[in-house]
Structure 1
Amino acid sequence: MTSKALVLVGGGTRGTRFRPLSLDIPKVLFPVAGRPILSHALSAVATVPSIKEVLLIGFYDDSVFKDFIAESSKEFPQFTIKYLREYQALGTAGGLYHFRDAILKGNPSSFFVIHADVCSSFPLAEVISEFEKKEAKAVILGTRVEAEVANNFGCIVSDPVTKKVVHYVEKPETHISNLINGGVYLFDSSIFDVIRSARQAKVEAANENPLVKNDEVLRLEQDILVRLAETDGFYVYETRGFWRQIKTAGSAVPANALYLQKLFQTDIDAPGLAKASAHILPPVYIDPTASIDPTAKLGPNVSIGARSVIGPGVRIKESIVLEDTEVNQGACVLYSILARGVTIGRWARVEGSPIGLSEHSTVLIKNGVRVQGVSILAQNVAVGDEAHIQNSVVLPHKEINGHVENEIIM
């Protein structure tokens, strides 16, 4: 019985690609569709009745998740939530191996391992069904992407009939497959035998070659799945639901849209989900403490955070607005992220570029130049009246009073 789920949350040394948003909040706690990224994974785990314990594994200080765990324990009373802090960054597999006794306590027949920065429909029940049907030792969630971007992910080659994984390569140099790793796994305890074997191989390599580090850092994708593909019992479940990674700061915008659309389709009366009207183009999430002028037009795919103030005639589309932000009269915010405490002046304009929900990059090529697809204003940025920011990133505590395009303001 699948009674545990492990969620890999990363650590303080990571999240650099999520800057500047991760400068004041860990990526996994960044709000998407009105709730932390990590909370979406817990909601998926809550759909599996047999899971009674969730272990968060990472390298952040214990204090980072204290409030989140307290709040989530009330929301999800059906399972306990614990944070296991690595004494150093051990890698995605090294952390699992280090905490193997805690993971195997109670003798779970199988357990999920989920990357926290995955945005997905999370078909966990289907993964369990595949695991049981194939009497598998491991099942990986797979999804299809365009061939031209597949090499940016871990690529899976599987038997077209049995779905047995026969080959796995992390970010291959040449095209292998457009079936990629979805960052969700279901393992039985034999995964620790594979990790132990990989650890021993690393020790032996270090003894023979002084350039190889003899440490406990092991990566699930690069060091373990390659070995697992050489054994029996490793299968892939290919999802037809939505999926994308939340790696860069800009990728939070399409993730926000995907989660809002799912919520709108499955629970139209969910708290915070605004009703459609002449000024609301759903889906739109509005925190109950936010103040929205009735003449402001919001949506689609917009999230408004706590205590934010949206003034008259404001237009916001395909954007995330965090708490304590003020958008003044006549301002326009498109394809953008406004972090905590941002102020947008009257008739100002902050805009990025449209990004398809099936695209896996928020970087665009304009006139032969790479530009940021999503405009991002970090904490406490102030934009003056009638200023214009386009396809740019502004770091915290800056003031913008003119026209900024395709820039990073440090």
Structure 2
Amino acid sequence: MLKAVILIGGPQKGTRFRPLSFEVPKPLFPVAGVPMIQHHIEACAQVLHYVEKPSTFISDIINCGIYLFSPEALKPLRDVFQRNQQDGQFCLALGEDSPGLWPGAGTIRLEQDVFSALAGQGQIYVHLTDGIWSQIKSAGSALYASRLYLSRYQDTHPERLAKHTPGGPWIRGNVYIHPTAKVAPSAVLGPNVSIGKGVTVGEGVRLRESIVLHGATLQEHTCVLHSIVGWGSTVGRWARVEGTPSDPNPNDPRARMDSESLFKDGKLLPAITILGCRVRIPAEVLILNSIVLPHKELSRSFTNQIIL
């Protein structure tokens, strides 16, 4: 039997992921329709299929990180594990059972205190993979990771991908639509779109390279490109919400997402557009390369700004 360690957080508490990390811990942010950490759990569950010994499987998952080890944040993490266990998908246990802070949190430095010691004893190894890999430091990298997982669903979870059907919305490429979402037949979705629980997508909406989170509403003829629409937000009719993609170099197999500062020379760098929780965008406006903090009701267009 094996044990897996998932590194899920540090002391910064997802500051580079704001305003999205205001609502949920980053490991629970939905990527390609499911919580980020669920992709790691599913990968652990598949270990049995890739080893030569039939008795080899992962018996425990230990989540290692400072951020989630608090009573408030630990509960939704447990819910993810329990839901998967009830569905019969995994036979895995949450290795950390403490209701409060892990006693070693903040005192054990994995790289210095653990990895260095193991390397000195010749007990640590590196596994090179040709599979997908992406760090998720910023909201822009979440869009890139969502694209990678949506593509992977073709082989791993084809049932999660929406299919074009007569009388339904037009699907282009890989798209995830939660079963509770309501999407108008004239909407055009994709490629690389994820639509969350209870989302409403109106007639004539165009969605591309975007994530629309739980309870959001896109009214008639809106256009959302390279953006993340936050929980419960509303985009008015004929409005356009657009960002600039920040993908890594496709010609470099080891390229990483850029996690530089949002600002350069006092100006906001062009990037994807993020609408925080319960933001209201009026009709017929343009929101371009901007970040809108939660609970804002806008009255005009904005470009390259952080709206506080």
Specify every segment of 5 or more residues in structure 1 that has no aligned partner in the other structure, as ranges. 96-215
Cα offset, 1:338, TM superposition: 0.6
Partners of 2:246 and 2:257 within 8 A in 1: no
1:376 aligns with 2:280: no
Does the CA contact (< 8 Å) of 1:392 and 1:404 recur in 2?
yes
Q: Comparing both structures, which one devotes a greater share of its residues to strand? A: 1
Q: What amino acid maps onto 2:278 in structure 1?
A: N
1:51 to 51, 58, 64: 58
Q: Which structure 2 residues correspond to residues 104-253 of structure 1 after superposition, within 5 A?
A: 217-253=107-143
Classify the secondary structure of the residue corresponding to 1:389: strand
Identity %: 42
Residue pairs, 1:328-407, within 5 angstroms: 328-356=219-247, 358=249, 359-361=256-258, 369-407=267-305
Is residue 2:155 matched to residue 1:275? no
Bigger CA radius of gyration: 1
Distance 1:372 1:59 in 2: 34
Question: Contact 1:362–1:373 at 8 Å: present in 2 too?
Answer: no
Q: CA separation in 2, counterparts of 1:77 and 1:244? A: 24
- Could you tell me which of 52, 66, 70 is aligned with 1:60? 70
Q: CA deviation at 1:281?
A: 0.8
Shift of 1:403: 1.5
| Structure 2 equivalent of residue 323 of structure 1 | 214
TM-score under structure 1 normalisation?
0.63
How far apart are 1:228 and its partner, in Å?
3.8
Query: For the structure 1 residues 53 and 233, does the alpha-carbon distance in structure 2 shift closer, same or farther, using more than 3 Å as the test?
Result: closer
Superposed displacement of residue 28, structure 1: 0.8
CA drift of 1:221 comes to: 2.2
Tell me the CA shift for residue 375 of structure 1: 0.7
Matches of 1:378 and 1:281 in 2, distance apart? 26
Instruction: Note the C-alpha offset of 1:406.
Output: 1.2
Shift of 1:365: 8.7
Query: 1:218, CA displacement in angstroms?
Result: 2.5
Whether the 8 Å CA contact 2:172–2:189 is kept in 1: the answer is: yes
Aligned to 1:254, the other structure's residue is in SS state helix
SS of the counterpart of 2:228?
Answer: strand
The answer for unaligned runs of 5 or more in structure 2 is: 49-56, 250-255
Offset at residue 44 of structure 1 (A): 0.4
Aligned to 1:80: 93
Deviates further, 24-33 or 70-79? 70-79
Give secondary structure in 1 for the equivalent of 2:170.
coil
TM superposition shift of 1:71 = 0.8
Q: How many residues align?
A: 284
Query: Structure 1 residues 41, 6: CA separation in 2 closer, same or farther (over 3 Å shift)?
Result: same
Partner of 1:172: none
The one-letter code matched in structure 1 to 2:299 is N
Q: Contact 1:326–1:342 at 8 Å: present in 2 too?
A: yes
Asked if structure 2 preserves the Cα contact closer than 8 Å seen for 1:10 and 1:59, the reply is no
Deviation at 1:333, TM superposition (A): 0.5
- What is residue 122 of structure 1 aligned with on the other side? none
Alpha-carbon deviations, 1:122-161, whole Å to 9, x = none?
Answer: xxxxxxxxxxxxxxxxxxxxxxxxxxxxxxxxxxxxxxxx
- Aligned residue identity for 2:239: A
Q: TM-score of the superposition, structure 2-length normalised?
A: 0.83
Equivalent position of 2:252 in the other structure: none
Q: Deviations over 1:384-405 (max 9, x none)?
A: 0011111111111001221211
2:13 corresponding residue in structure 1 = 14
Deviation at 1:77, TM superposition (A): 3.9
Q: Deviations over 1:332-366 (max 9, x none)?
A: 11111011101000010111112335551266899
Change (3 A) 1:34 1:311: same
Change (3 A) 1:350 1:89: farther
Aligned-pair RMSD on alpha carbons? 2.6
For residues 407 and 365 of structure 1, do their structure 2 counterparts lie closer, same or farther at Cα, with a shift above 3 Å needed?
Answer: closer
Question: Which stretch of the first structure deviates more once superposed, 18-27 or 79-88?
Answer: 79-88
Mapped partners of 1:231, 1:66: distance in 2: 35
Would the aligned equivalents of 2:205 and 2:219 in 1 still touch at CA under 8 Å?
Answer: yes
- How far apart, CA to CA, are the structure 1 residues paired with 2:245 and 2:283? 24
